[in-house]
Structure 1
Amino acid sequence: MRVEPPRSEARHDAVAAYYEEKTERILRRYGPGPRVHFHVGLVDDVPPPGEPEPLVRERVHASQEALLAELARAVGRFPDGGDVLDVGCGLGGGALYWASAHRAWVTAVTNVPSHVELVRTFAEIEGVGARVKPMHCDALAVPGRACFDAVVAVESSSYLPRAEWFRRVRALLRPGGVLAIADCFLGRPELAAPFDRYWRTRIGAVDEYLSAAHAAGLELEVRDDVSGRAVGFWSLTLELLAHERYSTPGQPPSRVLARSESRREHLRLQQALMDGGLEYGLLVLRRED
């Protein structure tokens, strides 16, 4: 089990700056919205290379929404019409999904200041402005007690100190409430450093999560390994990277280098999901009392 590093404001600010800098690229690749997702999708049928770029983008978006639908199914009875906290909401795609598909009242938390207004704008376009409340806030400092029926964390838990965060989640959940996590988990220790360095995370093994969750008073209900279905997502994103390379010639060397690094890391992650070095999984944990 890896020991979590101490939490630091400098690191918190660095992660926020990382996503602030990536905002325009996220919008170009996964936009235009209003539901803009920046996370893995689930793919059951990968098309052959060479599909037109608009169709690849449609497949990527559909796969990302399929992940959210699968997470809702893992919960069993998602609290339709309930109060939901979306931790690390990004540009709000998930928050809009819960508000639209499940009539939830969503508090969407982000550590990137500029994303608050983007989420608010996208929610208005989607027609769920009254149901989505974006908030610039540290995930460990969300105010309230026993005020949410569900807390959802799609690829945000790997940025957080698990023990401290699980204790805060338990305090925020109403009795019987659920924590639903979709994230990448560590399979082999030697992959932690390169993964954390590129994605700015603090990845952990499933056993570490479950130990910390149990200590905080959250009990496991579902563990679902969907790595096989996540592999295809990276094939789609690699196809998108190829389209971007050919559609935007003459870019500065720094951008070419960044795209090359992105392709290398996408391939590394895809291989690790196939050979067990990493696991993409869904966890559902419940506060019982």
Structure 2
Amino acid sequence: MENADILVSCVYPNSVERGGFEMTDQKQVAHHYHSGQLLRRIADGCAALDLTPPISHDALAPVDEFHIGGRLATEPFVKALGLSPESRVVDFGCGLGGPARYVASATGAHVTGVDLTAEFVETGRALTEWTGLSDRVQLIEGSVLDLPLEAGSMDAAYMIHVGMNVADKLGIAREAKRVLRPGGIFAIYDVMQVGEGHMDYPAPWASTSDQSALETPQTYEAALRSAGFEVSDRIDRTEFAKQFFADLAAAQSRAEGPPPLGLHLVMGDDTALKVRHMVQNVEKGLIAPIEIHARLAV
């Protein structure tokens, strides 16, 4: 489609490689999330909706808010950060950059997103161009355990549905402490383990159990405290998730097929199976979306 071709031409493939994970882990994570032609699929979806740049970041939310609750979860999570146009923020594992663009648009803050998956970063840069937010959002390929940022350069940090792919929770917390200024906040919204039992895979974050790094909220909090943070809040979003899943199922039952823009463009042909397993694991009380907020001493 002509509009899709115009959109694809916006991509900027330059990237920065960083270390931090074990190489095997890097390959597993990148392979799980890489799908190929992601930008083309999103461009085709935009063309089907007659969307051409400049495109509102709200219009892209169905495809670039890759976490339980999507934008409905992002809004209160970001509000709690208390950001301003002067804030400098880092997004740990930014994916396509949806939350980063929302933060920049809603608060005026400058956001640097870092993600291990090159295709996500390259596609996210194009989406940032489409939305006209490149002056406030920078996406970089790299590891959340070795951020390409100077020490003490950030006012706030957040991580959304990323820790399930990183076994070294203490390493994440230490890296957050390194890049934050005194008094900086680190907010996490992850799927966490809250019960014992058989977990169904594939899930959105891992194809098999050996690729998953699920941990309990207590493990996250212990890592944060060990790194020097004071944990101020923990919020269990289980009931929110169940209602979100119910609303999503109701909407899908009324639809005649997948929408032009949706997470199926990111997760691929087995999207339904991955989501079904995640819902089942939540309903069995094995996992839950949890927010944890922590702050460094001034």
Q: State the TM-score bracket (shorter-chain normalisation).
A: 0.7 to 0.9
Structure-1 separation of matches of 2:281 and 2:119: 33
Q: Identity of counterpart residues, as a percentage?
A: 22
CA-to-aligned-CA distance 1:20-76 (integer Å, 9 cap, x gap): 117739956xx64544221111xxxxxxxxxxxxxxxxxxxxxx112111112333x
Contact 2:21 2:143 in 1 (8 A): no
The alignment status of 1:38 with 2:66, answered yes or no, reads: yes
The alignment status of 1:72 with 2:65, answered yes or no, reads: no
TM-score, length of structure 1 as denominator length: 0.75
Q: State the match for 1:277 in structure 2.
A: 286
Contact 1:234 1:267 in 2 (8 A): no
Contact 1:238 1:266 in 2 (8 A): no
Aligned to 1:139, what secondary structure does the other structure show? coil
Judging changes above 3 Å, is the alpha-carbon distance between structure 1 residues 148 and 246 closer, same or farther for their aligned structure 2 residues?
Answer: closer
Structure-2 separation of matches of 1:233 and 1:163: 31
Judging changes above 3 Å, is the alpha-carbon distance between structure 1 residues 241 and 20 closer, same or farther for their aligned structure 2 residues?
Answer: farther
Letter in 2 for 1:14: Q
Q: State the match for 1:221 in structure 2.
A: 232
Q: State the match for 1:158 in structure 2.
A: 164
Structure-2 separation of matches of 1:18 and 1:8: 16
Aligned to 1:140, what secondary structure does the other structure show? coil
Letter in 1 for 2:66: F
Gaps of 5+ in 2: 1-19, 47-58, 260-267
Q: State the match for 1:51 in structure 2.
A: none
- 1:264: how far off? 4.3
Contact 1:220 1:286 in 2 (8 A): yes
Judging changes above 3 Å, is the alpha-carbon distance between structure 1 residues 288 and 15 closer, same or farther for their aligned structure 2 residues?
Answer: same
Letter in 1 for 2:286: G
Judging changes above 3 Å, is the alpha-carbon distance between structure 1 residues 17 and 70 closer, same or farther for their aligned structure 2 residues?
Answer: same
Structure-1 separation of matches of 2:220 and 2:38: 32
Letter in 2 for 1:269: M
Contact 1:151 1:180 in 2 (8 A): yes
Counterpart pick for 2:98 among 89, 93, 105: 93
- 1:123: how far off? 1.5
Contact 1:226 1:281 in 2 (8 A): yes
Judging changes above 3 Å, is the alpha-carbon distance between structure 1 residues 133 and 158 closer, same or farther for their aligned structure 2 residues?
Answer: same
Structure-2 separation of matches of 1:113 and 1:224: 32
Counterpart pick for 2:212 among 201, 212, 216: 201
CA-to-aligned-CA distance 1:179-200 (integer Å, 9 cap, x gap): 1111111012334684654484
Judging changes above 3 Å, is the alpha-carbon distance between structure 1 residues 122 and 213 closer, same or farther for their aligned structure 2 residues?
Answer: same
Structure-2 separation of matches of 1:153 and 1:141: 14
Contact 1:218 1:287 in 2 (8 A): yes
Q: Greater CA deviation, 234-243 or 173-182?
A: 234-243
The alignment status of 1:111 with 2:122, answered yes or no, reads: no
Aligned to 1:78, what secondary structure does the other structure show? coil
TM-score, length of structure 2 as denominator length: 0.73
Root-mean-square deviation (CA, aligned residues, Å) is 3.2
Contact 1:104 1:131 in 2 (8 A): yes
- 1:8: how far off? 2.2
Structure-2 separation of matches of 1:177 and 1:65: 24
Structure-2 separation of matches of 1:23 and 1:40: 24
- 1:116: how far off? 2.5
Contact 1:86 1:108 in 2 (8 A): yes
Letter in 2 for 1:278: I
Q: State the match for 2:135 in structure 1.
A: 130
